[in-house]
Structure 1
Amino acid sequence: MLATVLTISNSSLQKLLFAAIKVALVVLVIWLAAFSMDLTKRPHRTTHTLRVLLWHYPFGKRFNLSWDVCLDLYNIRHCALTDDRSLFNQSHVVVFHHREIQSRVSALPWERRPSGQMWVWMSLESPSGNKRVKELNGLFNWTLSYRRDADISVPYGELVSGSGAPQPRPKTGLATWVVSNKKTTQLRSLVYASLRNHLRVDVFGKSNHRPLCPDCLLPTISNYSFYLAFENSVHQDYITEKLWRNSLMAGAVPVVLGPPRSNYEEFLPPDSFIHVDDFHSTRELADYLKEVAGNESRYQRYFEWRKMATVKLYADWRERLCTICAKYERLPKTKVYHDLEAWLHSSVFYMWLMMIHKTTRCQGRCNSTWW
């Protein structure tokens, strides 16, 4: 009797075991199927080295791409930069700097472009400085620009957490401006022409036949209380090295002319700069600068940000190119700019507002009191 019971029990156990194995196999198959479907929905993972081909060196100025610069300089892995056009078909990304292609659009290799290769339009110029963009419609997948709405956004500079920035040195001058290409019709030239009637501004640069060597730039500016960080055109997010390097890194309070104050405040503390729009005339601006320069405690308040932050300057084109690899997985792989010109000029709205605002505010008094 006992042997019979054991036989039955063993038989039942075997059946239960086989049933459990079948259930486990079914669950495993279902899980694998679900996991496989989920993988198709996930962003493409970069497990191999991305090759980024730079078609032209910006402004014809070459830089070293012969070693693993992305890893060695910026700790970005699996990113190979090259200027070797023979690797065009093997390149995952090709970057075109606008200045070199704007007059040679027909020479772009679009007819032999491999399927899946991503093209990047790159420019750090404002919309006013980019010509013949309409001819590029439908060619590019991503944009690389200072603008925050670019696919690869790399500003001219930013404030990052940290402290220890040296305190500004004692000042021997009131205000200075370094400018190489000054056109009399530019807004910044008009404002300066009016401001100098009320305030001494020492002007350096090629336009004034007083060029400064690269190592002389910051030490010279640091002797002044204020620096005219005047942009050559007014566009959203167009805040260049004139502010980040020439002013903040030199230890001079920036007097800015560019996009509205609200746009600057998206990058900087509101009490770290002086905006020309805060004043009704250049005389009023000049009087304020003199007043602040004469009050040391009030002047030093413009440097409070140095206790919590330091300036990070983006001056290396290689860092911008390496950023493509860092952001590659999150970038849309099917995107195409069918109207690149419309995207580029969407910030012209800001320039329009500035001109209308100033013209309305001046009401015929601009020649004598503003610009």
Structure 2
Amino acid sequence: MPRASLLTRPPWGRPGVKAVVTAGLFVTFLWNLRCFLNPGKFSREAPKHTEPLVVLVWEWPSRQAPNVSGDVCRELYGIAGCWLTTEQRLLGRADVVVFPHTRLQPGRDRLPKEKLPGQHWVWVSLESPSNTKALERWNQTFNWVMTYRRDLDIFIPYGKLVSNQSATVNIPEKTNLVSWVISNYHRAQKRAEVYKNLSRYLHVNIYGKANKKPLCKDCLLPTTSKSKFYLAFENSIHKDYITEKLWRNSLMAGTVPVVLGPPRANYEQFIPADSFIHVDDFGSLAELATFLKTMNSSRYQQFFAWQKRYSVKLYTDWRERICTICMAYPSLPHGHVYPNLERWFNT
């Protein structure tokens, strides 16, 4: 056959091409049919669940695990379609498996031998990067991260402000200026340095194990509420790392927090700008001390204006935290895995 006729001939009419095209179309048809019948397996979107989502907590974050097998998310928090369990024998039925970092320290030998198809593993931690060790061994292991960071998969803060239009301001009676509850005092920490220098200019009432003045379980809030100001100093400074020192020890107690942690702008993403004092607001600790000691009653009351609009919600029950996985599940990136968990968490 002349060469010109080959060039002008339709490609599907050439020898051998027709068979290849036909086979390709058939493969494409089979793939589209497979995706249609099982869309969740071939998509980064969450598969639609007709049965309750089974969330297995491999080991409970705290030492004493409650009996959580059942529909506790609906019973306690009104979250339907979420079955929570700690029974490891149900691994084969679990859609999500939760691994608290505090329980991972012994090593991989305590994890399941393999991740089942379609199953997602969640790494959980409320500690800052400074206090989270041995992350390098968990590369290419977890699909999702659950911690205090807002830019992650599942956000679990220590606390938050919730709308409450009570229009009531409650300021407990004050008997001293500044207090601080500290259990683990390390001189190398920035908060220890700031406290040492600040105490040169004013007296700080210290409680907790570090000062050999431990408080009973129900004594914390009544004690800190007697102070005008509370040193809500974090043990390390990281983005979004704002703990119960702010939410419980200070705001819930009815005292004004003097914070040491991430920048002011980061705090203002959680609480109103006029509800706290940041150490960085002042050129020196001497200026901070003078500001605290000379504040008049009218200025002090302004720090509690947030109470007219909000109240504090604490997250203390791990069952509530784990149940949030079910609410987040449809929007989570399915098929994703963290290649370098340590590098990401330290960013």
For normalisation by structure 2, the TM-score amounts to: 0.85
Q: Tell me, yes or no, if structure 1 residue 195 matches structure 2 residue 192.
A: no
C-alpha distance in structure 1 between counterparts of 2:49 and 2:293, whole Å: 56
Deviation, 1:67, is: 4.5
Partner of 1:101: 104
* TM-fit CA distance, 1:166: 5.6
* Counterpart contact for 1:175–1:227, Cα < 8 Å: yes
Conserved 8 A contact 1:198-1:286: yes
Matched with 1:236 is 239
Judge conservation of contact 1:51–1:81 (CA < 8 Å) in 2: yes
Q: Secondary structure at the match of 1:81?
A: strand
Whose Rg is larger?
1
Matches of 2:118 and 2:153 in 1, distance apart? 17
Alignment partners' CA distance in 1, 2:135 and 2:276: 34
Aligned equivalent of 2:159:
157
Whether 1:63 and 2:66 are equivalent positions in the alignment is yes
- Give me the whole-angstrom Cα distance separating, in 1, the residues matched to 2:205 and 2:116: 54
Alpha-carbon separation, structure 2, partners of 1:321 and 1:274: 33
Q: Which amino acid in structure 1 is aligned with residue 133 of structure 2?
A: K
Contact 2:46/2:334 (<8 A) preserved: no
Q: Determine the structure 2 residue equivalent to 1:13.
A: none
- Matches of 2:141 and 2:69 in 1, distance apart? 28
Q: Deviations over 1:151-193 (max 9, x none)?
A: 0011111111114366011100100001111111110011001
Is 1:185 matched with 2:188?
A: yes
Give the counterpart letter for 1:246 in structure 2: N
User: What per-residue deviation string (whole Å, max 9, x for no partner) do you get for residues 64-114 of structure 1?
Assistant: 3145221111110111111111111111111001011133134322x3321
Amino acid at match of 1:74: Y
Aligned residues: percent identity?
A: 53
Unaligned 5+ runs, structure 2: 1-32
Bigger drift between 325-334 and 242-251 goes to 325-334
Match of 1:364 in 2: none
Q: Give the secondary structure class of the aligned counterpart of 2:335.
A: coil
Of 138, 141, 151 in structure 1, the residue corresponding to residue 140 of structure 2 is 138
Deviation at 1:333, TM superposition (A): 1.2
Question: Structure 2: how far apart are the matches of 1:59 and 1:77?
Answer: 25
Partner of 2:286: 283
Measured in 1, the distance between the counterparts of 2:69 and 2:47 equals: 27
1:315 Cα deviation after fit:
1.2
70-79 vs 229-238, greater mean Cα deviation = 70-79
Which of 72, 77, 84 is the matching residue for 2:75? Answer: 72
| Contact 2:250–2:257 (8 Å) recurs in 1 | yes
Aligned with 1:60: secondary structure?
coil
Q: Which moved more, 1:100-109 or 1:240-249?
A: 100-109
CA separation of 1:122/1:237 partners in 2, compared to 1, >3 Å: closer, same or farther?
same
Mapped to 1, the partners of 2:66 and 2:185 lie a distance apart of 28
Whole-Å Cα distance in 2 between the matches of residues 194 and 118 of structure 1?
A: 48
Q: Is the 8 A contact 1:52 1:94 kept in 2?
A: yes
Aligned length: 309
Kept in 2, the 8 Å contact 1:54–1:95? The answer is yes
The answer as to whether partners of 1:89 and 1:113 remain within 8 angstroms in 2 is no
Contact 1:102–1:133 under 8 Å retained in 2: no
Task: Please state whether the residue corresponding to 2:59 is helix, strand or coil.
Answer: coil
Deviation >3 Å, runs of 4+: 39-43, 163-166
Question: In the alignment, what sits opposite 1:48?
Answer: 51
Cα distance in 1, alignment partners of residues 62 and 209 from structure 2: 19
Once residues 254 and 226 of structure 1 are traced to their aligned partners in structure 2, the CA distance between those partners, rounded to angstroms, is: 6
Shift of 1:327: 1.1
| Alignment partners' CA distance in 1, 2:306 and 2:279 | 20
Q: CA RMSD in A?
A: 1.8
Q: Could you tell me which amino acid in structure 2 is paired with residue 203 of structure 1? A: I
Equivalent of 1:213 in 209, 213, 216: 216
Mark the runs of 5 or more structure 1 residues left unpaired by the alignment.
Answer: 1-32, 347-371
Letter of the 1:148 partner, please give it: R
Q: Which residue of 1 aligns with 2:84?
A: 81
* Correspondence for 1:250 among 249, 253, 259: 253
> What SS class does the counterpart of residue 313 from structure 2 fall into?
strand
Instruction: Tell me, in whole angstroms, the C-alpha distance in 2 between the residues paired with 1:284 and 1:64.
Output: 52
Aligned pairs (5 A) from 1:313-324:
313-324=314-325
The corresponding residue for 1:341 is 342
3-state SS of 2:228 partner: strand
Of residues 260, 276, 289, the one that matches 2:263 is 260
User: Which digits, 9 at most, give the CA deviation of each residue in 1:239-275, with x for residues without a partner?
Assistant: 0000001100000000000000110011111110000
**Structure 1 contact 53–84 (Cα < 8 Å) conserved:** yes
Q: After alignment, is 301-310 or 45-54 more displaced?
A: 45-54
Which amino acid is the alignment partner of residue 68 of structure 1? D
Q: 99-108 or 226-235: which moved more? A: 99-108
